[in-house]
Amino acid sequence: MLKQMEGSRAVAEAVALCRPEVICAYPISPQTHIVEALGELVKEGALTPCEFINVESEFAAMSVAIGSSAAGARTYTATASQGLLFMAEAVYNASGLGLPIVMTVANRAIGAPINIWNDHSDALSQRDSGWIQLFAETNQEALDLHIQAFRLGEELSLPVMVCMDGFILTHAYERVDMPTQGQVDAYLPRFEPRQILDPTDPVSIGAMVGPEAFMEVRYLAHVKQMQALELIPKYAAEFKEVFGRNTGGLLHTYQAEDADTMIVAMGSVLGTIKDTVDELREAGHRVGVLGLTLFRPFPTAAVAAALAGAKRVVVVEKSLAVGLGGIVATNVRMALANSPAHVFTVVAGLGGRAITMKALRELFLKAEREELDALSFLDLNLELAGKGLELELVKRRSGPLAENLLRAAGPARNY
Partner 1 sequence: MFQIRIHGRGGQGVVTATEMLSIAAFEEGRHAQAFPSFGSERTGAPVVAFCRIADKEIRLREPIMEPDALIIQDPTLLHQVDVFAGLKPGGYILINTNKTFDQLGLGDYVRDWPAERLCTVAATEIAMKHVGRPVPNVPLLGGFAAISGIIKLESVIKAISEKFSGKVMDGNIAAATAAYQQVLREIEEARQSA
d(CA 194, CA 90): 20
Closest listed residue to residue 168, CA positions, set 196, 195, 137: 137
> Minimal distance in Å, beta carbon 168 to partner 1?
6
Alpha helical stretches, state H, 336-381: 357-368
d(CA 168, CA 8): 11
Shorter beta-carbon distance to partner 1: residue 32 or 300? 32
End-to-end CA distance of the chain: 33
Q: What is the dihedral of CA 40, 42, 44, 49, to 10 degrees?
A: 170
> Minimal distance in Å, beta carbon 232 to partner 1?
23
- Is residue 158 within 8 A of residue 129, CB to CB? The reply is no
> Minimal distance in Å, beta carbon 170 to partner 1?
10
> Minimal distance in Å, beta carbon 208 to partner 1?
45
Shorter beta-carbon distance to partner 1: residue 116 or 221? 116
- Is residue 142 within 8 A of residue 248, CB to CB? The reply is no
Shorter beta-carbon distance to partner 1: residue 175 or 234? 175
Shorter beta-carbon distance to partner 1: residue 116 or 242? 116
> Minimal distance in Å, beta carbon 4 to partner 1?
4
Shorter beta-carbon distance to partner 1: residue 138 or 293? 138
d(CA 25, CA 328): 28
Shorter beta-carbon distance to partner 1: residue 70 or 142? 142
d(CA 132, CA 119): 19
d(CA 334, CA 264): 14
Shorter beta-carbon distance to partner 1: residue 171 or 240? 171
| Strand 160-165 to 102-107 pairing | parallel
> Minimal distance in Å, beta carbon 361 to partner 1?
12
> Minimal distance in Å, beta carbon 212 to partner 1?
51
Max intra-chain CA distance, the chain? 72
> Minimal distance in Å, beta carbon 67 to partner 1?
34
Binding site for partner 1 (CB under 8 A): 2, 4, 6, 30, 116-117, 138, 167-168, 171-175, 268-272, 274-275, 352, 354-357, 412-415
CB atoms within 10 A of CB 166: 29
- Is residue 306 within 8 A of residue 335, CB to CB? The reply is no
d(CA 204, CA 194): 13
Could you give the 3-state DSSP secondary structure of residue 212?
coil
In DSSP terms, which residues pair with 166 in a beta bridge? none
d(CA 51, CA 45): 11
> Minimal distance in Å, beta carbon 267 to partner 1?
9
Shorter beta-carbon distance to partner 1: residue 212 or 415? 415
Shorter beta-carbon distance to partner 1: residue 153 or 352? 352
CA Rg, the chain, in Å?
Answer: 22
Closest listed residue to residue 146, CA positions, set 270, 12, 30: 12
